[in-house]
Amino acid sequence: MGISWSFNTHRDNDYKWVMVIDLDKCNGCGACAVSCQAENNVAVVGEKIALQSRRMSWLRIERYFEGEWPNIRTVFLPMMCQHCGNAPCEPVCPVFATYHNPEGLNAMIYNRCIGTRFCGNNCPYGVRKFNWFDFFDEKDYYGYIPAFRKKDYVFRKPLDEQLNPDVSIREKGIMEKCTFCIQRIRRGKDNAKDEGRVVKDGDIMPACGQSCPTGAITFGNVNDPDSKVHSLAKSKRRHRLLESHGLETSVIYLKGGA
Amino acid sequence: MASNEDVDVKHLPNFEDGLKRSVDANVANGPDVDLSISEDSLNQQSLLPMFLTTKAWFIFTLSLASIVAFGAAAWGFQIITGMGVANLNHPVFWGMYIATFVFWVGVSHSGTMVSSILRLVKANWRRPILRGAEAMTTFSLLVAGMFPLIHVGRLWRVYYMFPLPNQRELWPNLRSPLAWDMTAITVYLTASSIFLYVGLLPDIALARDLCPKNHWRKIYFRVLALGWRGTHRQWLVYEKVSMLLAVFVLLIAPSVHTIVSWDFAMSITPIWHTTIFGPYFVVGAIYSGVAGVITLMILLRWVFGLDKIIKVVHLANLSKMLLLMSIIWTYFYFTDFLVAWYANNPAEQAVRSWEHHRFGVHAWLMLSCSVITICGLSWNRIRNSPVMLFGITAWVNLAMYIERYLIVVPVLSHRDNPFTWTDYTPSFVEISIACGAFAYFFLLYAVFIKLMPIVTIADVREGKVLTADMAVGNTHVRVYGNPEAH
Amino acid sequence: MKPTVLGLFDSIEKTAKTAGPILDLSIEKKDISLLTAGPYPDGAYFHEDFHPPIWKVAFVGGLLGLCAGLFIAGWTQWIINLNVGGKDPVSFPVVALICYETTNLGIVLGSFLSLFWFARLPNWTDLAYDEEISNGRIGVLVQCEDSSQASKVEDIFNSHGAIGIKNGRGDY
């Protein structure tokens, strides 16, 4: 691969998807989080449920402060599923609802999930989101119980027209998380196949990267030596989150320049 | 030979007398086997809890049933509405349900284990308490087994966890500790039910014989007794099989709670990821289980008047066992905290300090319980006082519940990523279901007492045969026969 | 239909004295049963020539359990393999763990079945029995060749202080 870090795929494959996020470019605008929400039919849960720490957002901007008061500097950290090579969430699922796909993605099979939430417990990043209610079902079973009287988070008609047809909506009781916009990866690969070639660098871009105004997010195939992520992954500014766990994540953060 | 009519009249235990009798303090505090008790009286007193149904029992059972019904309704509400009715959140994915699950699996540990250990070491005082302990195991496992079902998000898909052959080659992931858990609990529930039933078999036959003619219990006793007659050859088979079962149940039991502990220890979560959890959980389970056995035995004495069968000496012997377990348990607390403190891992320290601030009262209640148990049970007077023992054992189980809660909750709410730190308090639905499960256990036990003999009568009878008072000069010493001595 | 005699006694000492005379009638040990409500040590009446191979049944049960464990946890892991968390294709600790549980389960089920088999249960027919046995009485059940032998057995019981005698036919 030409880079010293390993990405555990355990298979010889043309593709190994990696995202590089340049924290020095990130200004915390949150466009990535919004576009992720729109692209992936992520439920908008409303104020009340959000305050219960049940936000469904697959991508969030974490805000940290560096330095001692008053000389502090705010830094932002876009956090989504890190697609670990040695993903701790995978072996603990009793039904294989989450597994490692040949392209190194940490895949989530919604239909198979029974909601033991063990994967969420074993994720050190806290990026797995659980469907506490039926966020897409308009039916209000328990209207007479005040706490559940109004499902203000449901996409009521005709708002449901804005849902992305490429992405399924999720039932209550199952886990979900960032997929690296797997529907876009599939489309990119399909198009490349139609044209009889392999995927080129820049063919595929997840929604977050597409909407990032500063271009902090780069996505690509690290197995392709000419790709942008391949050269960025060799950067001296690179680091991975919670590296001590040895999870071989597929998201690489760049920080420390400028 | 007595005619059938005579037998009926004679066999009907005189319940009113049984209820009104004043327990002779000397008998209740006397030696483990009462040699003077007549065969009829032994049968009558042992079967008394089954046949004597008071108004208080009905009130007790109906109130338990209504709590269970409320818990079941809460569960139904949760299934229809979604897991959100529990106060779980990101990232506290496990909460009161799992803590309650671990608690009940823990309680289940001692019944069968105590019973099989005492059988294997041939402790003579074991005899009257075996059934109560074994039933406790089976019922607490039934309660515990419900909690994974309550906990999962999609109950209607829970069969995905079972290894059901299908043409799509969908199979459970046996690497998951939850799959081990399911295997272990299924095995343990099967084994302990078999153990309970094998122990029951001669007593069911006895109850079948003593049941008055045309009594409704006679029907199922007749079926379940399988035509047991107590021939010598049957007894020989029975003794060998019970010994074999005792050995292998004893092999299964520690593995079950070790596997439950691996639900936590196999994860990479700080505090949970520790090698001590296996033995730590097993010891904690036996500790809370022995306390549970003592509590139930005291309740049986109080509610069903088994003072002449289950005596103070049995409670005192059990509480010696509890004392031993509490010493070992305190040592585990010490090791667990000391190692975490010495390592000074920032992620673990964050959890510990959160635990201290948020659950300080709980933690001190839990830790002081150990001290009180060790100090209290060292006193002979307290070991011999059912009231004091009831208080101590109830507190032990409360402390153990808190302990399980503190294992599950604080860790998840303050783990690796500080941005996700949050808090968790059980919701009304969760508390209702946990209370419903608590009531469900006692309901099962109360109904069981009405349907099956709660005293191991055959074993008590064997004890009477094999025990004698030997004169030594001007005094007597008790000697216990060992059938295998010759 | 051979005649059976059931003698009831109120103490094991009185019962034990009948063992010699009855065996002297050249009745085989397998035709004599001691009926009690609790386990008495072997030899309380006479030493039985009865060695049920319970451990063999338990062993077979254990082997079947082990095979089931190897199949469920081992073979299926091998043939239906999914990569989870970069682990090896087959996890041997898991196989060992599941096999431990299933082997124990097999042994427990095997012992349970052997109880049924060797104790000749279940049998809901009306066998020679008396409910007084559950009240602590001790019964001696003898299956005799003919009625003359049966009357000899009755005499032995009566002379040793039996509190009741029950005659029957066939079902032993």
Q: What domain range is B212 assigned to?
A: 28-266+280-312+427-481
CB spacing of B416 vs A92 below 8 angstroms: no
Burial of B247: CB neighbours in 10 Å, binned 0-12, 13-18, 19+:
middle
Best residue of C72, C80, C84 to probe chain A, by most A CBs closer than 10 Å? C84
Flag whether residue B105 sits within 8 Å of chain C, measured between CB atoms: no
The DSSP string of B266-316 is TS--TTTS-TTHHHHHHHHHHHHHHHHHHHHHHHHHHHH--TTTS-HHHHH
Q: Considering the domain boundaries, does residue B407 fall inside one?
A: no
* Cα–Cα distance, A126 to A74 (Å, whole number): 21
Structure tokens at B329: 């348990």
How much is the pLDDT for B325?
93
Report residue A8's pLDDT band, with 50, 70 and 90 as the boundaries. low
Q: Would you say residue C90 has pLDDT above 50? A: yes
* Cα–Cα distance, C122 to A126 (Å, whole number): 57
Q: Would you say residue A47 has pLDDT above 90? A: no
Q: Considering the domain boundaries, does residue B390 fall inside one?
A: no
Q: State the Cα torsion A26-A28-A32-A38 to the nearest 10°.
A: -170
- Per-residue pLDDT tens over the stretch B88-118: 999 999 999 999 999 999 999 888 888 888 8
With contact defined as 3+ CB pairs under 8 Å, the chains touching B are A, C
Q: Considering the domain boundaries, does residue B453 fall inside one?
A: yes
* Cα–Cα distance, B221 to B219 (Å, whole number): 6
With contact defined as 3+ CB pairs under 8 Å, the chains touching C are A, B
CB spacing of A10 vs C86 below 8 angstroms: yes
* Cα–Cα distance, B425 to B92 (Å, whole number): 10
* Proportion of chain A above pLDDT 90, given as a percent: 57
How many other CB atoms are there within 10 angstroms of residue B78's CB atom?
21
Q: Considering the domain boundaries, does residue B364 fall inside one?
A: no
Residue from A161, A129, A124, A134 nearest A241 by CA: A124
Structure tokens at B427: 């919701």
Q: Would you say residue B138 has pLDDT above 50? A: yes
Q: Average pLDDT over chain B, rounded to whole? A: 88
Flag whether residue A124 sits within 8 Å of chain C, measured between CB atoms: no
CB B449 within 8 A of CB B136: no
Q: Identify the DSSP state of B21.
A: P
User: Least CA distance to A62: which residue of chain B?
Assistant: B419
Mean pLDDT along residues C156-161: 90
Flag whether residue C1 sits within 8 Å of chain A, measured between CB atoms: no
Residue showing tokens 């005649």: C3
CB spacing of B239 vs C94 below 8 angstroms: no
Report residue B136's pLDDT band, with 50, 70 and 90 as the boundaries. very high
| Residue C154 three-state SS | helix
Flag whether residue C122 sits within 8 Å of chain A, measured between CB atoms: no
Burial of A73: CB neighbours in 10 Å, binned 0-12, 13-18, 19+:
exposed
Q: Considering the domain boundaries, does residue B392 fall inside one?
A: no
With contact defined as 3+ CB pairs under 8 Å, the chains touching A are B, C
CA atoms within a 13 Å half-sphere pointing along the CA-CB vector of A173? 19
How much is the pLDDT for A45?
86
Best residue of A89, A93, A100, A103 to probe chain C, by most C CBs closer than 10 Å? A100
Q: Which of B174, B195, B228 sits opposite C121 (nearest CB)?
A: B228
Residue from A125, A140, A126, A162 nearest A44 by CA: A162
Q: B24 or A23, which is more confident?
A: A23
CB spacing of A173 vs B80 below 8 angstroms: no
Scanning B248-267 for CB atoms below 8 A from C yields 248-249, 251-252, 255, 259
Q: Would you say residue B414 has pLDDT above 60? A: yes
Structure tokens at A18: 């990696």
How much is the pLDDT for B197?
95
Q: Spell out the domain ranges in chain A.
A: 17-254
Mean pLDDT along residues A23-45: 93
Q: Would you say residue A149 has pLDDT above 90? A: no
Mean pLDDT along residues C151-162: 90
CB C65 within 8 A of CB C104: yes
Residue from C28, C48, C47, C36 nearest C12 by CA: C36
Structure tokens at A180: 């690296």
Mean pLDDT along residues C54-64: 95
Q: Considering the domain boundaries, does residue B348 fall inside one?
A: no
Q: Would you say residue B275 has pLDDT above 80? A: yes
Class of domain C3-50+138-169: alpha beta
CB A25 within 8 A of CB A214: yes
Query: For chain B, how many structural domains are there in total?
Result: 1
Q: Which of A99, A102, A248 sits opposite C84 (nearest CB)?
A: A99
* Proportion of chain B above pLDDT 70, given as a percent: 93
Measured in angstroms, the CA of C83 and the nearest CA of chain A are apart by 5
Sequence letter at residue A10: H
- Per-residue pLDDT tens over the stretch B319-377: 999 999 999 999 999 998 888 889 888 888 889 899 899 999 999 999 888 888 999 99
| CA angle centred on B164, ends B159 and B166, rounded to 5° | 115
- Per-residue pLDDT tens over the stretch C116-136: 999 988 988 888 888 889 888
Scanning B195-214 for CB atoms below 8 A from C yields 195, 198, 202, 205-206, 209-210
Helix axes B277-304, B312-343, angle to 10 degrees: 150
| Residue A76 three-state SS | strand
Flag whether residue C93 sits within 8 Å of chain A, measured between CB atoms: no
- Per-residue pLDDT tens over the stretch A109-119: 999 999 999 99
Q: Would you say residue B466 has pLDDT above 90? A: no
Measured in angstroms, the CA of A48 and the nearest CA of chain B are apart by 12
CB spacing of A95 vs B161 below 8 angstroms: yes
Cα B467 from chain centroid (whole Å): 29
Q: Which of A94, A116, A121 sits opposite B269 (nearest CB)?
A: A121
Q: Which residues of B touch A128 (CB under 8 A)?
A: 90-91
Report residue A3's pLDDT band, with 50, 70 and 90 as the boundaries. very low
Residues 6+ apart with CB under 8 A from C91: B174, B175, C77
Mean pLDDT along residues C25-38: 90
The DSSP string of B89-150 is -SS----HHHHHHHHHHHHHHHHHHHHHHHHHTT-GGGGGGHHHHHHHHHHHHHHHHHHHHH
How much is the pLDDT for B80?
85
How much is the pLDDT for B464?
87
Helix axes B360-377, B312-343, angle to 10 degrees: 140
Residue from B143, B259, B252 nearest B187 by CA: B252
Right CATH for A17-254 from 3.40.50.720, 3.30.70.20, 3.40.50.1980, 3.40.50.2020: 3.30.70.20
Flag whether residue B458 sits within 8 Å of chain C, measured between CB atoms: yes
Q: Radius of gyration of chain A from Cα atoms?
A: 19
Q: Considering the domain boundaries, does residue B39 fall inside one?
A: yes
- Per-residue pLDDT tens over the stretch B222-274: 999 999 999 999 999 999 999 999 999 999 999 999 999 999 999 999 889 98
Best residue of B112, B201, B232, B267 to probe chain C, by most C CBs closer than 10 Å? B232
Q: Considering the domain boundaries, does residue B293 fall inside one?
A: yes
The DSSP string of A191-219 is HHHHTTSPPPTTS---HHHHH-TT--EEE
Structure tokens at A59: 């991508």
CB B199 within 8 A of CB B454: no
Q: Average pLDDT over chain C, rounded to whole? A: 89
Structure tokens at C102: 């299933």
Q: Spell out the domain ranges in chain C.
A: 3-50+138-169, 54-118
Q: Which of B90, B178, B417 sits opposite A124 (nearest CB)?
A: B417
- In angstroms, the Cα distances linking C70 to B164, B400, C78, C108 are 16, 36, 11, 18
